[in-house]
Chain A
Amino acid sequence: MDTATTNAIEIRDLVVDFGSRRILENISFDIHQGEIMVIMGGSGAGKSTLLRCLLGLKAPTSGHIHMLGTDICHATKTDLYKMREKMGVAFQGGALFTSMSVAENIQLPLREHTNLDENTIQIMTRIKLDMVNMLPHENLMPSELSGGMTKRAALARAIIMDPKLLFFDEPSAGLDPITSAELDELIIKLKKSMKMTIVVVTHELESVFAIADRIAILGDRELIQIGTPHEIKASCDKRVIDLLNRTPRESIVDSDAHLKRLTRNAQS
């Protein structure tokens, strides 16, 4: 099978250090074209660092990331920018420009990268806003939006150029269950209608199993497991089971014993 045509992203032996601290160690996996890959893991597992590497915002210590055939770890700035024109990113906090209205935020990539006339830009903006149910709010400023509206506006901006790859950082974070479920529906709808490869970074279990075609679980600096939601649920790895069952750490469960141990260590 020709992997170049089926893999949108290939990650090979990725190592990331922050100073002397190792964050990710020998991460290798593929993300297939047209699938929704969810990268999950506990806090500090390296999810956000991996996402920043995928976006080309953080250079790894070693390893390769091939994205639609381009090695973004060793690409020139020009090649990286060309690559980025094929991808959309919805950041956790939205990262909308506060001096622009929702519509102006969404139009920005079109104005910078195309020579489309004003009428076409307006039509495209309205289509994308309608896809994320934000059409009535196009003239609002980012400061006037709720958390869910901000994320939907950020999503509209991410898909305005019809990207081949869509990255979504913590789509459900800080949202109520209904808004979160609506956003999950929206991600699935986008995958079907626009045939995009979508990479979602999250630790919200409900969202993960609602949207994922495959799941990659990070923990202890490494990739613990990768597979379909069914395979992940059937995993025998204790770390995966703990994550799925939301098992608290020992220090939280038996705080007295943990405190005694800490005190003993301090005394010795």
Chain B
Amino acid sequence: MIKAINELGSNVLASIEQIGRTFNLLVIIAWKLTQPPYQIYPIIKQMYFIGARSLTVIIISGVTIGMVLGLQFYNTLERFGSVGVLGSAVALSIIRELGPVMTALMVVGRAGSAICAELGIMRISEQVDALECMAIAPDKYLVAPKLVAGILSVPLLNFVFNVVAIGGGYYVGVVLFGMAEGSYINGMIDSVVWSDVRLGLMKSLIFGMLITLICCAKGFYLHLSEHGSKGAEGVSRVTTDAVVISSIAVLFCDFLIGAVMS
């Protein structure tokens, strides 16, 4: 019993330490980003990796989710004779909730895991130490471009997701079920207001920062974690942790932001 309490206590302390370390990294990077030399090219390179190379998965998942939403809403609304609000229902669901959340989860799965694994491998193969010894700050050189790219890319990917998902809903409602085109589009335009777009944008900015920060911190501080001495196994464990924690953080923050801004 005492052993279990001890273990619980040490796990809680380790978690608090990790959270502190992660936010400390954010503050350090925010400060270092204001100092020259500015890392423009590495940021563009990372935006290509996080953003452009995630486009396929974002488009496929966006279309699919839009079509599923269109189908489910159409069947439900038809029972109440309210098919005319299908455009509004799909657009609001996508823009306010599903767009930012699904985009973030897709980016975690595709790019976040890769970022964490890359930094973890760099840590265990002494590449991070090599940077330190070359008097190149590894947090600024390795983490900062990824963090900035994440913050910029996720809202852009979210925009793409929203467009294709609304298109997917349109295809189901208008093309498959024969709903009036004007009804779908006008309903959407009438119901979506600036505050909905702002909420979605805010969420995707915060999610972008959160997921890249967690994934970067997990890989970058691999040597300080309990898996630090486990080599390749350690990298795989922290990568799994990074994906799970980022996903949970996205869902939890989604609720928090929604509660605060609604």
**B229 CB to nearest A CB, Å:** 11
Task: Write out, one digit per residue, whether chain B residues 130-149 have a CB within 8 A of any chain A CB (1) or not (0).
Answer: 10111111000100000000
Q: How far apart sit A36 and B135, CA to CA, in the bound complex (Å)?
A: 23
A99's nearest neighbour on chain B, judged by CB, is B118
**For chain A residues 100-134, which have a beta carbon within 8 Å of chain B?**
108-109, 112-113
Interface pair A89/B130, CB less than 8 Å apart: yes
With a CB–CB cut-off of 8 A, which chain B residues contact A109? 134-136
Give the distance in Å from the alpha carbon of A95 to the alpha carbon of B122 in the complex.
8
Question: B114-135 vs A: 1/0 string, CB under 8 Å?
Answer: 0000000010011101101111
B135→A95 contact, CB < 8 A: no
Q: Tell me if A84 and B129 are in contact (CB < 8 A).
A: no
Point out the residues of chain B lying under 8 angstroms from A167, CB to CB.
Answer: 133
Residues of B within 8 A of A92 (CB): 126
How many A-B residue contacts, CB cutoff 8 Å?
Answer: 49
Number of interface residues of A (CB under 8 A): 23
Please pick, from B37, B126, B137, the residue contacting A95 in the complex, using a CB distance under 8 A: B126
Q: Whole-angstrom distance from the CB of A253 to the nearest CB of chain B?
A: 31
Nearest B-chain residue to A52, judged by Cβ: B129
Distance from A166 Cβ to chain B, minimum over Cβ atoms (Å): 11
Q: Select from chain A the residue with minimum beta-carbon distance to B37.
A: A112
A98 / chain B contacts, CB cutoff of 8 Å: 127
Whether A57 contacts B135 by the Cβ 8 Å rule is: no
Max chain A C-beta neighbours (<10 A), residue from B122, B125, B127, B133 = B133
- Report which of A56, A82, A91, A112 forms a contact with B130, defined as CB distance below 8 A: A91
Within 8 A of B (CB), among A213-255: none
Taking CB atoms, residues of chain B closer than 8 Å to A85 are 135
Closest to B136 in A: A112
> A119: shortest Cβ distance to chain B, in Å?
19
- How many angstroms between the C-alpha atoms of A56 and B135 in the bound complex? 11
Is A37's beta carbon under 8 Å from chain B?
no
Is A44 at the interface (CB under 8 A from chain B)?
Answer: no
A87–B134 alpha-carbon span in the complex (Å): 8
User: In whole angstroms, how far apart are the Cα atoms of A56 and B131 in the complex?
Assistant: 12
Q: Are A84 and B125 in contact (CB under 8 A)?
A: no
Shortest CB–CB separation between residue B141 and chain A, in angstroms? 8
Beta-carbon contacts of B25-59 to A below 8 Å, as 1s and 0s? Answer: 00000000000010000000000000000000000
In the bound complex, CA of A97 to CA of B125 (Å): 10
Contacts of B135 in A (CB 8 A): 81-82, 84-85, 109, 112-113
Asked whether A93 is an interface residue with its Cβ less than 8 Å from the other chain, the reply is: yes
Proximity bits, B193-233, A CB within 8 Å = 1, else 0: 00000000000000000000000000000000000000000
Query: How far, in angstroms, from A97 to B137 measured CA to CA in the complex?
Result: 15
In whole angstroms, what is the CA distance A97 to B121 when docked?
11
A55 interfacial contact with B, CB 8 Å: yes
Complex CA–CA separation, A92 to B134 (angstroms): 16
B125 touches A95 (CB 8 A): yes
Cβ contacts B87-131/A at 8 Å (1 or 0 each): 000000000000000000000000000000000001001110110
The distance in angstroms between the C-alpha atoms of A60 and B141, with both chains bound, is: 26
Q: CB distance A87 to B127 under 8 Å?
A: no
Contact partner of A57 (CB less than 8 A), chosen from B125, B133, B137, is B133
A91 to B135, CA, bound (A): 15
A246 to B203, CA, bound (A): 64
Cα separation A98 to B118 with both chains bound (whole Å)? 10
Docked-complex contact B134 and A84, CB < 8 angstroms:
yes
Which single residue of chain A is at the shortest CB-CB distance from B118?
A99
**Is the beta-carbon distance between B129 and A108 smaller than 8 angstroms?**
no
**A29-56, CB under 8 A of B: which get 1 and which 0?**
0000000000000000000000000011
The docked-state distance in angstroms from the alpha carbon of A79 to that of B122 is 25
- Show 19 A/B contacts (Cβ-Cβ < 8 Å), sorted by A: A55-B129, A55-B133, A56-B132, A57-B129, A57-B132, A81-B137, A82-B135, A84-B135, A87-B133, A89-B130, A89-B134, A95-B125, A95-B126, A95-B129, A96-B127, A108-B134, A108-B136, A112-B136, A157-B134
**Which 10 residue pairs across A and B have the least CB separation, nearest first?**
A95-B130, A84-B135, A95-B126, A89-B133, A81-B135, A91-B126, A109-B134, A85-B135, A95-B127, A112-B136
| Residue positions of A touching B, CB distance < 8 A | 55-57, 81-82, 84-85, 87-89, 91-93, 95-98, 108-109, 112-113, 157, 167
